[in-house]
Amino acid sequence: MSDAPAPRTRRGPLAKLADFFDDRTGYRAVVHEALYERVPGGARWRYVWGSTLVFAFVTQMITGLVLWSSYSASAQTAWESVYFIQHEMAGGWLVRGIHHVMAQAMVVLLALHLMQVVIDGAYRAPREVNFWLGLILMKLVLGMALTGYLLPWDQKGYWATRVATNLAGLVPLIGPSLQQLVVGGPDYGHHTLTRFFALHAGFLPGTLIAFLVVHLTLFRKHGLCAKQPITKPDCMFWPDQVLKDVVAMLAVLAVVLGVILLPAVRAMVEGRPIVPGELGAELGAPADPSQPYAAARPEWYFLFLFQFLKVFEGWGADGEFLGAIVVPGVLLGMMFLMPLVGRWKLGHRFNVLFTVAILVGAGLLTAMALREDYAAAWADREAYADVEQLIEETGNDPEKIAATLGNDEARIAEFQAKAHELEEIRRSEAFFAAVKQAEAEAHRAVELAGRPERIPPGGALELIRTDPLSQGPILFAQHCSSCHAHVDPAAPEAAELMAASSAANLSRFGSAAWARGLLDPELVAGPAYFGNTAHAEGDMVSYVTNDMTDRDSWSEEQIEAVAVALAAEAAVVDDEPLDPAIVEQGRALMADEERCGSCHHAGDNETENGYAPDLAGWAGREWLIGIITDPNHERFYPETNDRMPSFGVAEEGGVPALSATQIGLLADWLRGEWYRGE
């Protein structure tokens, strides 16, 4: 060797220490071996991809270990611990953000590394084995990406993983068992998380390290596969190529940090406050198997596989098997055969074309998936108004449509093409709405988790299931909306929704505005109040439209006072300020046995309940719970209940339609009583 150890005279203490260790370990030779590799033709930028991948993996190990130290894998703690990391721990958003974005960078770098290896023909003898190792490493990285997606146990990861594991069930013979093994049982839960976590943080990276060591050793054994022809003088790996590698690593890091911090910069420019918890990786609402998640999509680098499943429309079960198992398997198998194909005269060209075709194909599928989802963003909705109208008018009956279009084949074909586009746009609109809803749910979950009372031991799902704001709309849609509307009367769609309803509009029920409408002769018999019910012909409508319009017995101030007094009984959240003097005046009018009190019990009047609903505590929490539980109770409509079911009353031996908790949630939601963040 040219740089044999110098004669051991007059060496300083540090050099002596180094000698001591070198004698016993031989480390100098190892370092030398690692750094003083000959790079034929000099350092080049095209050689940096492998190093950037190693850098990305090391970054993932560092950030991953730190995340591991704060993560808890179970159905009641996974989302909760990730919430804590993301929103409460110092630097948590940054570490998680780097881990999340670097994982995506790694997939891009993998594609670049593969391209470079194939184009340079670096899979040919004697490097075949190393090429195969590289493909295995690629599978391991993709496996870590897939398993990592589930770990936050949010809706997005949960539903994406359901699809992925269902596809695993399609593998011939062992599929169902394989799926059950991966899921950790027949249902998704604790053991899905513990298993995915063990795969993600233990088995896969451990295997990856072992393969990586062999990959790098073989890389050194064969040397760099230089770009031909060599025109420049050779150089050493250290420092020339290392410098280029480091620059590339910094560029990768800059991109990753850029992706994380860009929203912060945007917020700063727009003068909005920067919320660190909203930077970096997203955290959706906690996983809930009983709640649909229409925005379910895999991470962008798996979108091509997602889209590929749609390609096989109409193929039945074969299509899914082909799309999820056969085609990806064949393509990967062909990649493994590249070194053998490469021996053939035109083999190298074939391999390059094949790789480019796969990447372009994946790119196109990804673009198709994105185009479908985002079609509504650039579609000219008005251009489809006539098609939409025709579909609506004919009930989408092909014969009627053909007749309307004069049975002109050209026009029918044009219509069908446009109708198809319209359907895509509608699906895209549904996707947008789903994403928006998912964001709202995620935001609410985080808001609830941040309450001073913290998350209960049952987990964040318990928080959401006892949150009136989250549950109210769901319960209302399931149990109330087949009769009642719940729409702001000023909204553009309000008239249509109220006309279609068969009971009162309960939006802002109990507010002064609602009470004014009830006492308004123009409105009380309309669809927002009693118009679509049996009470349209009843005494209340008649009293409001006849007696209360007689200005000798009811002045406008008196009517207003009653409305305000009703609102004071209800005391819903966020109502307009009520003047106590007017409330007092209204209460007296309500209790007056010559006026409201002639039918209604109110205040301390002597009128008994039974004829008309009780106005004492009207629309208050207890009153609402009472009427939802049993509208036939003497406080409400014992004789004149139109069609409202007794939701809280169980028939003999049965269960009520709604539990007491659910009725409480509905009442609170109608009254606007829910936790509001700061």
Partner 1 sequence: MDDPAPVPPPADARRSFLAKLMAMVGGGLATLTPVAAGVWMTLDPLRRKSSAASFLPITKVESVPDDGLPRQFPVIADRTDAWTGFEAEPIGAVYLRREQGSDTIEAFSATCPHAGCFIELDKRDRCFRCPCHNSAFTLDGGIVSPSPSPRTMDALECEVRDGRVAVKWENYYSGIAEKVARP
Positions that interact with partner 1 (CB under 8 A): 23-24, 75-76, 159, 162-163, 166-167, 169-170, 176-177, 180-181, 183-187, 189-191, 288-296, 306, 309-310, 312-321, 324, 396, 427, 430-431, 434, 478-479, 482, 645, 651, 653-655, 657
Q: Residue type at 256?
A: V
Which residue in 291, 302, 262, 290 sits closest to 440, CA to CA? 291
User: What's the CA gap between 565 and 4, in Å, rounded?
Assistant: 100
Minimal distance, residue 41 CB to partner 1, in Å? 38
84 Cβ contact partners less than 8 Å away, ≥ 6 residues apart: 70, 92
Nearest CB to partner 1, comparing residues 315 and 336: 315
Phi, psi at 301, each rounded to 5° = -75, -5
Can you read off the two tokens belonging to residue 464?
């959401």
Nearest CB to partner 1, comparing residues 183 and 506: 183
Minimal distance, residue 312 CB to partner 1, in Å? 6
Nearest CB to partner 1, comparing residues 115 and 419: 419
User: What's the CA gap between 448 and 441, in Å, rounded?
Assistant: 10
Nearest CB to partner 1, comparing residues 20 and 344: 20
Whether residue 118 contacts residue 49, with contact meaning beta carbons closer than 8 Å, is answered with: no
Nearest CB to partner 1, comparing residues 444 and 587: 444
Nearest CB to partner 1, comparing residues 224 and 628: 628
User: What's the CA gap between 237 and 216, in Å, rounded?
Assistant: 14
User: What's the CA gap between 11 and 22, in Å, rounded?
Assistant: 15
Minimal distance, residue 87 CB to partner 1, in Å? 25
124 beta partners: none
Minimal distance, residue 7 CB to partner 1, in Å? 16
Minimal distance, residue 370 CB to partner 1, in Å? 15
DSSP secondary structure, 254-288, as one string: HHHHHHHHHHHHHHHHHTPPP-GGGSSS---SBP-
DSSP label of 72: -
Minimal distance, residue 487 CB to partner 1, in Å? 15
296 Cβ contact partners less than 8 Å away, ≥ 6 residues apart: 155, 156, 159, 160, 163
Whether residue 487 contacts residue 494, with contact meaning beta carbons closer than 8 Å, is answered with: yes
Nearest CB to partner 1, comparing residues 204 and 524: 204
Give the Å distances, CA to CA, from 5 to 2, 26, 33, 36, 618: 9, 12, 15, 16, 96
Strands 235-236 and 38-39: antiparallel
Minimal distance, residue 411 CB to partner 1, in Å? 22
Nearest CB to partner 1, comparing residues 37 and 421: 421
Residues making up the chain, counted from first to last: 678
Whether residue 204 contacts residue 140, with contact meaning beta carbons closer than 8 Å, is answered with: yes
Minimal distance, residue 571 CB to partner 1, in Å? 31
Nearest CB to partner 1, comparing residues 194 and 542: 194
Whether residue 564 contacts residue 586, with contact meaning beta carbons closer than 8 Å, is answered with: yes
User: What's the CA gap between 218 and 299, in Å, rounded?
Assistant: 33
Which residue in 645, 641, 655 sits closest to 613, CA to CA? 641
Give the Å distances, CA to CA, from 35 to 14, 217, 219, 453: 22, 13, 13, 56
Minimal distance, residue 207 CB to partner 1, in Å? 15
Minimal distance, residue 294 CB to partner 1, in Å? 4
Can you read off the two tokens belonging to residue 200?
């993600």
Whether residue 70 contacts residue 81, with contact meaning beta carbons closer than 8 Å, is answered with: yes
Nearest CB to partner 1, comparing residues 126 and 176: 176
Minimal distance, residue 494 CB to partner 1, in Å? 17
Nearest CB to partner 1, comparing residues 482 and 555: 482
Minimal distance, residue 572 CB to partner 1, in Å? 27
Nearest CB to partner 1, comparing residues 236 and 494: 494
Cα angle 556, 558, 564; round to 5: 105
Whether residue 194 contacts residue 78, with contact meaning beta carbons closer than 8 Å, is answered with: no
Which residue in 146, 437, 180 sits closest to 291, CA to CA? 437
Minimal distance, residue 628 CB to partner 1, in Å? 14
Give the Å distances, CA to CA, from 66 to 61, 81, 180, 241, 489: 9, 13, 30, 31, 52
Cα angle 162, 466, 83; round to 5: 55
Minimal distance, residue 497 CB to partner 1, in Å? 12
Nearest CB to partner 1, comparing residues 310 and 454: 310
Nearest CB to partner 1, comparing residues 28 and 124: 28
What's the longest Cα–Cα distance across the chain?
A: 122
Nearest CB to partner 1, comparing residues 65 and 294: 294
**Does residue 588 come out as left (phi exceeding 0), alpha (psi in the -120 to 50 range) or beta?**
alpha
Nearest CB to partner 1, comparing residues 479 and 508: 479
Minimal distance, residue 291 CB to partner 1, in Å? 8
Minimal distance, residue 21 CB to partner 1, in Å? 12
